[in-house]
Amino acid sequence: MSLAVERYELGPIGTNCYVARAATTAAEAVVIDPGGNAIELERELARFGAACVAILITPRRPARPSTWAPWSGSRWSESATSPPQN
């Protein structure tokens, strides 16, 4: 089993976004630096048969919560804006 990582260029300037899973058959995924195209990523996750369990934002660029707006209606959007609940 090996880590599966897919890269997407999203938004008007092609910002890199990554979807990482423990393996190509894993049912859970982590989205790293989501851009403004939530629909495309949701389709890809569905194609993989995976659900997003976390969203990670890297500090290499200014955090822009406005780019998360398309994700706000999803069932896992809380991951991007709230600390984990124990």
Domain locations in the chain as residue ranges: 1-16+23-35+57-64
pLDDT, tens only, 5-20: 999 988 788 888 999 9
Residues near 49 by beta carbon (within 8 Å), at least 6 away in sequence = 27
pLDDT, tens only, 21-56: 999 999 999 999 887 778 888 898 999 999 999 999
One-letter identity of residue 70: P
Can you give the length of the chain in residues? 86
* pTM (2 d.p.): 0.67
Does the CA dihedral 72-75-79-81 come out positive or negative?
Answer: positive
Q: Burial level of 33, CB count in 10 A (0-12/13-18/19+)?
A: middle
In 3D, which of 27, 76, 84 has the Cα closest to residue 68? 76
pLDDT, tens only, 52-85: 999 998 876 554 555 555 554 444 444 444 444 4
